[in-house]
Amino acid sequence: MFPGNWMKLNSECCVWTDKLLNLPDNYTIEFDIVPIERETGKGMYGWMMRLMQSRNATSWDAGTAPGKGGFCLTTYYYGKLSYNTWLYGECEKQNLSGFVEEQFQQKLNKKVHIAMWIQKSRIRVYQGQDKIVDLPRAFPAGCVQPDRLRFEYGAILISNVRIAVGAPDTRSKLITEGKLVTYGIYFDVNKDVVKAESFGTMKSIADVLKENPDVRVKIIGHTDSDGDNAKNLDLSQRRAKSVMNELVKVFGIDASRLETDGMGETKPVAPNDTPVNKALNRRVEFVKL
């Protein structure tokens, strides 16, 4: 029903990142989930996700408020979502909690994409293209430094987990410097369809364009040198057009503010001699007009 590789959780279990994460001040976490039927066959079970600072680097941190603090997103058995933070020491009194609007309830066997954007103390959570949580002071300075992601107490399928350095300061790069090079817009090999994992990058670019309504940009696609030159040129042009269409249709950007072009493999930023260097050449650029 759902292509690709999926990890299945069912009932009282927990899966977490084994090695502790070394996360910067600005990063994103994205994943796809599908709420599934519990093993007893009585509908949704719900699920929990925690972004937390662990106490035990090699084992389970137990309890309803484990580790040294963190952020939890919970889906109940009937699909409604809630969130909460738990903080210890001097920050304990700043614990936050609340419910997500009912219109964003999750449904049995329906895939949803979750994206989290963490900037120092601030956490934003998106479900699809909708922002469902925004906590400017989720992690006050000095309280919590998350180093572990875990999923627990649920019946779900999980896939496409991606943790990445956050989008650059697009206001500086695009508005001030006039150019933004991004590696956060993803396509399958030889395809021109923007993948769901690109949401965080696309959203940040769309936000800047909305905040600067007089700015026009050219979207330029680039490829590595694998394959035929003419086909790479065509692919880069189609990918740039696909990014434009996504900004217009999904994020509401006026098409008259956007132009597209493709350079294929003609403008490399690194030699096309290793997988890493080839990845550097596969990019999308935004140039202010």
Residue 48, strand partner residues: 74, 152
Residue 280 pLDDT? 83
DSSP assigned state of 175: I
Token look-up 């905040």 returns 211
Which residues, 6+ apart, have CB-to-CB distance to 28 below 8 Å? 115, 116, 117, 118, 162, 163, 164, 165, 166, 167, 200
pLDDT in tens, 28-68: 888 999 999 887 777 888 899 999 999 988 888 988 899 99
CATH 2.60.120.560 region(s) of the chain?
A: 7-165
Token look-up 């949401």 returns 199
Cα separation, 286 vs 141, whole angstroms? 33
Q: Could you give phi then psi for residue 136, rounded to 5 degrees?
A: -60, -30
Check if the beta carbon of residue 179 is closer than 8 Å to that of residue 43. no
The type of residue at 271 is P
pLDDT in tens, 165-215: 765 566 567 888 899 998 889 888 899 999 887 888 898 899 899 989 999
Query: What is the pTM assigned to this prediction?
Result: 0.63
Cα separation, 135 vs 145, whole angstroms? 16
- Fold classification of 170-288 (topology level): 60s Ribosomal Protein L30; Chain: A; (3.30.1330)
Q: What is the CATH number of domain 7-165?
A: 2.60.120.560
Token look-up 């120092």 returns 120
